[in-house]
A and B are shown apart, each in its own frame.
Chain A
């Protein structure tokens, strides 16, 4: 079955760190760019970061640049998001999302996980 499954969310204090994981199955993981997209409670969607299939290219939204790091392990079919210096405004459901085509970056997302909730609060 083609699916993405996120894990690693939880409650963290401001200034703290958290690492999210996304396990992929049912498709050739290394052939596709992957992204993290977040959604604050009751709000819209915000793209956070993307990584190419090889892992050689990465991009970040200005709101997380310098604090978050995206990476992937193609041998384990797993995507990661290391989040440091967390702020209250980072509170959101974090989705991993697969790029729709086998380009370096297609920038549309045709497969999403169920999401993992990150809450930043003291």
Chain B
């Protein structure tokens, strides 16, 4: 069974800073990995699919990279609306979400 680990659990940054979030799989998931953003009281929003493809309407400041077991979501310059929880999700077998990384305001 594949396990996803996200780090750090919490990332405290200021608006305008660069955010780098990590997702690691216990075995290879090829490029079958997505990233979602969830704000309090809201549903998740798909940001990135297949490791590096931005979903429709997602700003260019969001980018994804990686393959195999190590993946990264980068937010190049944090906007106030980007402070949220971010989940990775693999689809190599059943959909499985990571535990999340909370990006909060420093």
Contact = CB atoms under 8 A, between A and B. Distances in A.
A110 B44 contact: no
B46 A45 contact: no
Contact of B49 (A50, A59, A108, A112): A108
Contacts, number: 50
A114 B43 contact: yes
B49 A47 contact: no
- Classify the interface of chain A: helix, strand, loop or mixed: strand
A14 interface: no
Contacts of B42: 114
Interface string A108-122: 111011110000000
Interface of A: 35, 37, 44-47, 50, 59, 61, 95, 100, 106-110, 112-115
Interface residues of B, number: 22
A107 B33 CA distance: 10
A109 B46 contact: yes
Interface of B: 32, 34, 36, 38, 42-46, 49, 55-56, 87, 89, 91, 94-100
B55 A100 contact: yes
A110 B100 CA distance: 18
Question: Which 4 pairs of residues, A with B, have the shortest CB-CB distance?
Answer: A107-B91, A112-B43, A47-B95, A45-B97
